[in-house]
């Protein structure tokens, strides 16, 4: 089992326990696509890093608002992202994705000019036990250079007759531990299907650095990939954010519940030899998609 094998690897190479085990019980049609990069001015753009402009703040924060009355049992999960550069940037762009049990339930993108701060908010409603995960990309442009940060957050939410509404990052009580394990088990059972998807694409998991998109924030520091320059790490992060925006956020119509709504958290694959990027995810229509970088 892929999940069992990866547990023996160092922590920084593990696939998240709960992020990618959300696939259908039957492997559907596979698609191999060229990793599309944005061409319009509205898309996330890549420029060389600029040392004079940097982020003073970049964070994503999940919280829960309880039901207003006992007659309306739905609780509200709120996601707020805040990013601030040290000086106003000619163009600021932020993009955020929100996942419920590993499936996309919300996305937002803002673009502003000559500002230093962007605040974004998302809200989803539920009355059941879920794991929420968020990842945000924060960009600032000077016109010829940029700065970029990635932030993320996660939150377990449980609702029980005796325990009421509870939310936590890590369990403190025995009840919270039991609910965390129950939610995680519900996701881990799809491990075999994820492994089979990798096999169908003829991908050897040990040939790649594998991690979920929601863990990208912990893979942007220089020490996670020894021997690779900070400029190269920035380039990798920019390519990933551009591809996610162009292929998932921009075309997604969450109001009409298209296949990108409830698509799985993308799996990032970085080839250990040449650092080429591939991105794999499953859409709600049952199709697997593998995005590959264009060959130069």
Q: Tell me, what CATH number does 185's domain have?
A: 2.60.40.10
- The continuous run of DSSP H or E covering 266 comes out as none
Q: What is the pLDDT of residues 56-68, one digit of tens each?
A: 999 999 999 887 7
Q: Which SS3 state, helix, strand or coil, does residue 89 take?
A: strand
Mean pLDDT of 260-277: 89
Cα dihedral across residues 6, 11, 17, 20: positive or negative: negative
Report whether 148 contacts 238 (CB < 8 A): yes
Instruction: Specify the higher pLDDT residue, 111 or 146.
Output: 111
CA distances from 230 to 138, 218, 240, 292 (A): 17, 14, 15, 23
pLDDT at 164 over 50: yes
Mean per-residue pLDDT over the chain, rounded: 79
Q: What is the pLDDT of residues 115-138, one digit of tens each?
A: 999 999 999 999 899 999 999 999
Q: What is the pTM of this model?
A: 0.83
What letter would DSSP give residue 264? B
Number of domains the chain contains? 1
Residue span of the structural domain in which 12 resides: 2-292
The pLDDT of residue 69: 67
The pLDDT of residue 29: 63
- For residues 105 and 126, what is the distance between their CA atoms, to the nearest angstrom? 11
Confidence band of 38 (pLDDT split at 50, 70, 90) = very low
Report whether 278 contacts 293 (CB < 8 A): yes
**Low-confidence winner among 108-117, 120-129, 191-200 (lowest mean pLDDT):** 191-200
């Amino acid at each position: 089992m892929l999940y069992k094998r990866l547990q023996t690897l160092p922590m920084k190479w593990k696939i998240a326990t709960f992020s990618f085990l959300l696939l259908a019980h039957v492997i559907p049609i596979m698609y191999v696509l060229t990793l599309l990069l944005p061409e319009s001015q509205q898309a996330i753009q890549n420029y060389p890093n600029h040392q004079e402009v940097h982020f003073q703040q970049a964070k994503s924060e999940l919280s829960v608002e309880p039901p207003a009355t006992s007659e309306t049992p739905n609780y509200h999960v709120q996601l707020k992202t805040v990013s601030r550069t040290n000086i106003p940037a000619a163009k600021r762009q932020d993009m955020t994705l929100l996942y419920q049990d590993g499936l996309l339930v919300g996305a937002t993108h803002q673009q502003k000019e000559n500002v230093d701060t962007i605040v974004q908010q998302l809200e989803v409603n539920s009355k059941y036990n879920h794991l929420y995960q968020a990842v945000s990309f924060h960009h600032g442009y000077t016109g010829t250079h940029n700065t970029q940060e990635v932030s993320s957050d996660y939150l377990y939410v449980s609702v029980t007759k005796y325990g009421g509404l509870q939310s936590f990052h890590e369990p403190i009580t025995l009840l919270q531990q039991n609910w965390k394990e129950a939610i995680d088990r519900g996701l881990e059972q799809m491990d075999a299907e994820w492994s089979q998807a990798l096999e169908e694409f003829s991908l050897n998991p040990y040939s790649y650095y594998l991690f979920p998109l929601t863990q990208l924030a912990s893979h942007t520091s220089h020490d996670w990939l020894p021997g690779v320059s900070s400029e190269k790490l920035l380039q990798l992060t920019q390519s990933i954010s551009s591809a996610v925006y162009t292929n998932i956020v921009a075309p997604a119509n969450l109001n009409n519940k298209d296949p990108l709504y409830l698509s799985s958290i993308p799996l990032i694959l970085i080839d250990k030899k040449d650092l080429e990027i591939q991105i794999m995810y499953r859409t709600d229509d049952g199709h697997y998609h593998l995005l590959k970088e264009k060959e130069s």
